[in-house]
Chains A and B, each alone.
Chain A
Amino acid sequence: MTFPGASIQKELSDFEVSIEANRCLYCYDAPCIRACPTHIDIPAFIAKIADGNIKGSARTILEANPMGASCARVCPVSELCEGACVYNTESDTPIRIGDLQRYATDHVRDRGIALFEAGTPTGKRVAVVGGGPAGLSVARDLRRYGHAVTIFEAHEQLGGLNTYGIVPFRLATDVALWEAQQVLDLGCEVRTGVRVGEDVGARSLVDEFDAIVLACGMGGVPRLGIPGEEHVWDALAFIERAKMTGGAPGLGNRVAVIGAGNTAIDALTCAKRLGAQRVTMYYRRGEAQMTAYDFEYDFAKEEGIEFRFFCSPTRVIVEGGQVTGLELSRTSLEDGHLTRVAGSEFVEACDTVISAIGQSRLLATIDALGVAHDGGVVRVDDEMRTSRKGIFAAGDAIFEKGAREAMVVEAAQQGKIAARSVNEFLYG
């Protein structure tokens, strides 16, 4: 069963592509390049589309960003490349960089064109813990350097959140898996269904490999700490099930989602598209404090999502084993201090409660490798080196609120830097 409804991205006609590609000014020292965390040479890839070298265009994109196909779909382009386009003027609109990137990468994906080759074998072996965007980026570049790579992945399939965690109408599984396959085609060993620190000891990794890259991401949604918690769905698990099976049995008609980040938006819109009539976001702070991107918030509004601000869940109401409502308390935010308003509790009827209040840290894996961390955030320097020699980290494992962005494109860039660092370490 596939997920109902179409992708939110429309296929561009050749005509639209031509118009848009030719509209690009081919700026010098272009601001879009600087705004892209992976510094894709955007004017160059667009010029190549305009002159009919689509394969070369895709190579320019994927050389700089191994996750270029998924980033073309999930990047907050209005905050990045398109936001920096010189055409953000009163009379013009920015070049549709994301759409053109999707067109170019789709070209090689649809035709099965391989763009990269593994380097001459070096005899060095590197373990990559986690096969998500960061791990795949590391692995891709390490293979190009010629190092042997083994990817350890807890899930059955590679791709991490691209495969399992991003709503299907934004990023289809086949795109994420194709991207992973491009890395595998360079000759990686993959051990899926394996958790480092649980199924595989850290000790054996250290003994077996010349270097280790920790790209394990994060875990599930943390506990809310309220009665009835056991009936609350984890937003990421919900999206994963919906994406993999095309449905979510027992979702019901009224869905309450707690949290106001991008994952919350994904859970909300996913529930709506699965047929839930009334889907409501509950957030303890206000609209201004939402962490979701503006364009995500706008998208949720277009999808018919309802929003309740300044209320915090206090109890899941369960009758006969079935969720029937969510009790919330009003909150007040003064001088940055959030407090519950005593006696303000109210009940919202609902069939399902989904929590999207963030992700927990994979302490078992991190601690097993013995690297320094701050509350589960692995500590790295600018070259992605952890406190332990020969162990590097990238992606959500080093994501620290306020310091870095938890974007696929950031993970890809960190992966590139980590691979370069590992190479220097092995040959330094």
Chain B
Amino acid sequence: MADLSSNLAGIRSPNPFWLASAPPTNSGYQVQRAFADGWGGAVWKTLGTPIVNVTSRFAGLNYREHRMVGMNNIELITDRPLDENLKEIAECKKAFPDRAIVVSLMEVCEQKPWHELVKRVQEVDIDGFELNFGCPHGMSERGMGSAVGQHPDLIERVTTYVKEAARVPVIVKLTPNVTDVRFPARGAARGGADAISLINTINSVMGVDLDSWNPIPHVDGKSSHGGYCGPAVKPIALNMVSDCARDPEVNVPISGIGGVETWRDAVEFLLLGATNVQVCTAVMHQGFRIVREMTDGLNDYLDAKGLASVGELIGKSRDTITTWENLNLNYKIIARVDQKRCIHCNKCYIACEDAAHQCIDRVQRPDGTYDLVVDESHCVGCNLCMMVCPVDCIDMLEVDTGLPSQSWKERAAVAK
């Protein structure tokens, strides 16, 4: 049994699975249910000046038979009074003292309102703050959320305000709706953030109804861009987490967010440098109970790897991500089709023929059927055939080129 406990900038939780600030953490009732199911922590749905929400609010992106591979929302921060939220936060902490309760905050970019909000909230027993500089819809039009997160200087300034008043660690939550996430991350670090969390949701229009021509979701025939999340955003989140984890000017712990649905996703975030993960869409799709599968799977994985604690995973793959110019030009893999497992759907053939390098041949057998055979001398090892194969019968094999490792950077230097 591995040690799953987690410590993000001093915020301790029995496991690295937190609920992200979102609809599942809207109330004490929900958070207590989540803790009862085993969630290690929860970031309370953003507190601030209560707002009015619209209906409808969410939309799912389905791919064939898979529902909600992506999701977006146009819901705003909490629509309940601050007192009510604080009372419920205190009850949760009392009922589950070992869990991390972090409170998400949003305010206008002025020192006084931030000081007041921070002081008022930390009157109850909480473990940390998360500054919502990420929400891309609605609040950003009022100069909050991602409107702040898109300006490194504003991030720095507001973080400084909060740090002046806060007695608990401060996490800054970043928006992915920027060109290079390292700049806002550095702003947070300069402002004294104890940690950053990313990614918040991505600007998105989910779709248009082909019958009514209304946007999806629509509010009486109209919509605005919403925040996109769910399994489909994971690669974007991993890239941004990786960017921040490798940046010496950021240099604060990271809470990874974006498409985490299983323990496997969580392990990827940790390997690239996150200390813990936050989850929302998966809970919205499946309920709080999935955390049992996540902790169970993570524990078995650590045991299988012979690791005593989850902390040993953090950053283990961090330095495997580099720039293209550092990749070994002399590394070679080629595809090979296992004829025994092949079902002859020819999907690899047409993918290679039309979209790659025309190096899978259909070789006729005496019985008239075809074998799919890779022309190994021309295969560039792009992986496309393996990716389209529905039965996983294509393996990518390493080939010894007999050449020493040489990157583009090295080659260019030699040429000079």
**A residues at B contact (CB < 8 Å):** 18-19, 22-23, 25-31, 50, 86-87, 89
Interface string of B339-354 (1 = CB under 8 A from A): 0000111110110000
A190 → B minimal CB distance (Å): 40
- The closest CB in chain A to the CB of B370 belongs to A29
A28 with B65: CB separation less than 8 A: no
A25 with B390: CB separation less than 8 A: yes
A92 → B minimal CB distance (Å): 8
- The closest CB in chain B to the CB of A18 belongs to B65
A97 → B minimal CB distance (Å): 15
* 29 residue pairs bridging A and B, Cβ less than 8 Å apart: A18-B65, A19-B65, A22-B64, A22-B65, A23-B65, A25-B345, A25-B347, A25-B390, A26-B347, A27-B344, A27-B345, A27-B346, A27-B347, A28-B345, A28-B346, A28-B347, A28-B349, A28-B350, A29-B346, A30-B345, A30-B346, A31-B344, A50-B64, A86-B343, A86-B344, A86-B345, A87-B343, A89-B343, A89-B391
Q: Which residues of A contact B345 (CB under 8 A)?
A: 25, 27-28, 30, 86
Q: Which residues of A contact B65 (CB under 8 A)?
A: 18-19, 22-23
- The closest CB in chain B to the CB of A88 belongs to B343
A-facing residues in B317-346 (Cβ within 8 Å): 343-346
A232 → B minimal CB distance (Å): 45
Interface residues of A: mostly helix, strand, loop or mixed? loop
The docked-state distance in angstroms from the alpha carbon of A31 to that of B349 is 14
Q: Which residues of B contact A28 (CB under 8 A)?
A: 345-347, 349-350
The docked-state distance in angstroms from the alpha carbon of A31 to that of B343 is 11
Q: A19-B65, A28-B349, A89-B343 are in contact. List 14 more A-B contacts (CB 8 A).
A: A18-B65, A25-B347, A26-B347, A27-B344, A27-B345, A27-B346, A27-B347, A28-B346, A29-B346, A30-B345, A50-B64, A86-B343, A86-B344, A86-B345
How many residues on the B side are at the interface (Cβ–Cβ under 8 A)?
11
The docked-state distance in angstroms from the alpha carbon of A26 to that of B349 is 13
The docked-state distance in angstroms from the alpha carbon of A57 to that of B391 is 27
- The closest CB in chain A to the CB of B349 belongs to A28
Q: Which residues of A contact B344 (CB under 8 A)?
A: 27, 31, 86
A117 → B minimal CB distance (Å): 26
The docked-state distance in angstroms from the alpha carbon of A19 to that of B67 is 12
- The closest CB in chain A to the CB of B342 belongs to A86
A325 → B minimal CB distance (Å): 51
Q: Which residues of B contact A31 (CB under 8 A)?
A: 344
The docked-state distance in angstroms from the alpha carbon of A22 to that of B219 is 31
Q: Which residues of A contact B350 (CB under 8 A)?
A: 28
The docked-state distance in angstroms from the alpha carbon of A322 to that of B343 is 59
Interface string of B101-113 (1 = CB under 8 A from A): 0000000000000
The docked-state distance in angstroms from the alpha carbon of A87 to that of B344 is 10
B352 → A minimal CB distance (Å): 11
Q: Which residues of A contact B349 (CB under 8 A)?
A: 28
B385 → A minimal CB distance (Å): 12
The docked-state distance in angstroms from the alpha carbon of A13 to that of B391 is 28
B62 → A minimal CB distance (Å): 10
Which of B345, B347, B349, B390 has its CB near the most chain A CB atoms (within 10 A)?
Answer: B345
Q: Which residues of A contact B390 (CB under 8 A)?
A: 25
The docked-state distance in angstroms from the alpha carbon of A25 to that of B351 is 13
A13 → B minimal CB distance (Å): 14
Interface string of B30-73 (1 = CB under 8 A from A): 00000000000000000000000000000000001100000000
- The closest CB in chain A to the CB of B341 belongs to A89
The docked-state distance in angstroms from the alpha carbon of A18 to that of B390 is 19
The docked-state distance in angstroms from the alpha carbon of A378 to that of B102 is 86
The docked-state distance in angstroms from the alpha carbon of A314 to that of B76 is 88
A-facing residues in B364-407 (Cβ within 8 Å): 390-391
The docked-state distance in angstroms from the alpha carbon of A8 to that of B391 is 33
A96 → B minimal CB distance (Å): 15
- The closest CB in chain A to the CB of B65 belongs to A22
The docked-state distance in angstroms from the alpha carbon of A325 to that of B323 is 90
Q: Which residues of B contact A18 (CB under 8 A)?
A: 65
Q: Which residues of B contact A86 (CB under 8 A)?
A: 343-345
Sorted nearest first, the 4 A-B pairs with minimum C-beta distance are A28-B350, A28-B346, A27-B345, A86-B343
The docked-state distance in angstroms from the alpha carbon of A31 to that of B368 is 11
A43 → B minimal CB distance (Å): 10
A305 → B minimal CB distance (Å): 36
- The closest CB in chain B to the CB of A23 belongs to B65
Q: Which residues of B contact A19 (CB under 8 A)?
A: 65
The docked-state distance in angstroms from the alpha carbon of A86 to that of B349 is 15
The docked-state distance in angstroms from the alpha carbon of A23 to that of B350 is 19
The docked-state distance in angstroms from the alpha carbon of A19 to that of B64 is 8
A423 → B minimal CB distance (Å): 31
A419 → B minimal CB distance (Å): 29
The docked-state distance in angstroms from the alpha carbon of A22 to that of B65 is 7
Q: Which residues of A contact B346 (CB under 8 A)?
A: 27-30
Which of A23, A27, A89 has its CB near the most chain B CB atoms (within 10 A)?
Answer: A27
- The closest CB in chain A to the CB of B391 belongs to A89
The docked-state distance in angstroms from the alpha carbon of A19 to that of B65 is 6
